[in-house]
Amino acid sequence: MSVFYDSQVLNLMSEQLIDKFNRVVDYIRISVTDRCDFRCVYCMAEDMVFAPRAEVLTLEEIELISQAFIEMGVSKIRLTGGEPLVRKGVVDLVSKISKFDGLKELNMTTNGSQLPQLAYTLKDAGLDRINISLDSLKAERFKELTRTGDLNTVLKGIQTAKEAGFKRIKINAVILKGQNDDEIMDLVRFVRKYELDISFIEEMPLGQIDHHDRAQTFIGSDYIRNVIEENYELASIDDNSGGPSRYWRFIDGHNSRIGFISPHSHNFCSSCNRVRITAKGRLLLCLGNEHSVDLKAVVRKYPNELEPLKQVIREAMMIKPERHEFDLAQDVQILRFMNTTGG
């Protein structure tokens, strides 16, 4: 039996977001809040000033923006912050976004502090996967790096997420020379013990911080991989995760995977398929550049209307830059902190 569609429906079904370098954008990261219950030393200043609530996207606006992107070919969304789970109503937002046709993955990056209470609810709401930030397994050091965090609460959150049924839970770890570089193997053994994945992330020069000199504390992915390979034999995985992490598997057959996000040492810009929405509603075309478009202005001028929003998004693809230009030897080029961007 033949099925006929009008041209408008066909266009909606087949639309893709493609930038001027012929990269298909099918993945967005949305910061639902710039607020966080931690103050991680590489992420924000200790006396951070957060955006007034009126300047932050409403949950309804985030839902509309998500719908627009999904109808334009985006199949993967990650909710971030700040800490997304301190945003009131975020579970309901997860439930609504997860129901959009065309979305294949709805994931979240969290510090884990709220997971003891919310892991089961998030799973029931339709969240697919969780990444959890964990930079130290030593309670005092964890407190120092997060300034406010409690390690036991996060460990309980990881366990609760496993019990709730989340698969392939991933730990995100930023390793800093002289800060936590003696814990690389502790973290690897931890994820093997609890059958988790882990990504080691090179620190990015976003926002002015006073805790440490990024050029002095920087550790590249190759160094970390060499440390691991002194203990375990690894083999690269060709599988494309849809994100910036490049994965390695254990030759001994263990199910855990080791990932590396290497914006400095192994630039991944040529295959970039991502854009970000900041908490204040700016469509950020590149993490390491300021090219952006104000989507909040569009959704507030045209509330509940998809087409004006889609048109602005289409046009924005043409200003997505070819690559970022991170340089730890120079003064901070990007003044916004990671919590305002969405990690």
Across the range 116-141, mean pLDDT stands at 98
pTM of the model: 0.87
Per-residue confidence (pLDDT) for residue 3, from 0 to 100: 41
Does the pLDDT value for residue 316 go beyond 60?
Answer: yes
Which residues does residue 199 pair with via DSSP β-bridges, in sequence order? Answer: 172, 259
Across the range 187-204, mean pLDDT stands at 94
Per-residue confidence (pLDDT) for residue 61, from 0 to 100: 98
Per-residue confidence (pLDDT) for residue 237, from 0 to 100: 94
Superfamily of domain 30-341: Aldolase class I (3.20.20.70)
| CB contact at 8 A, 45 and 152 | no
Across the range 83-93, mean pLDDT stands at 97
Where are the domains positioned within the chain? 30-341
Give 263-273 pLDDT, tens digit per residue: 655 566 778 89
Mean pLDDT estimate for the chain: 88
Higher-confidence position of 243 and 59: 59
Per-residue confidence (pLDDT) for residue 336, from 0 to 100: 42
Per-residue confidence (pLDDT) for residue 84, from 0 to 100: 97
User: Quick one: pLDDT band at residue 159, thresholds 50, 70, 90?
Assistant: very high
Say how many C-beta atoms besides its own lie within 10 A of residue 203's C-beta.
23
Per-residue confidence (pLDDT) for residue 193, from 0 to 100: 98
Across the range 154-183, mean pLDDT stands at 97
Give 41-83 pLDDT, tens digit per residue: 888 777 788 899 999 999 999 999 999 999 999 999 999 999 9
Higher-confidence position of 3 and 160: 160
**Mean pLDDT lowest among 74-83, 223-232, 279-288:** 279-288
Does the pLDDT value for residue 19 go beyond 60?
Answer: yes
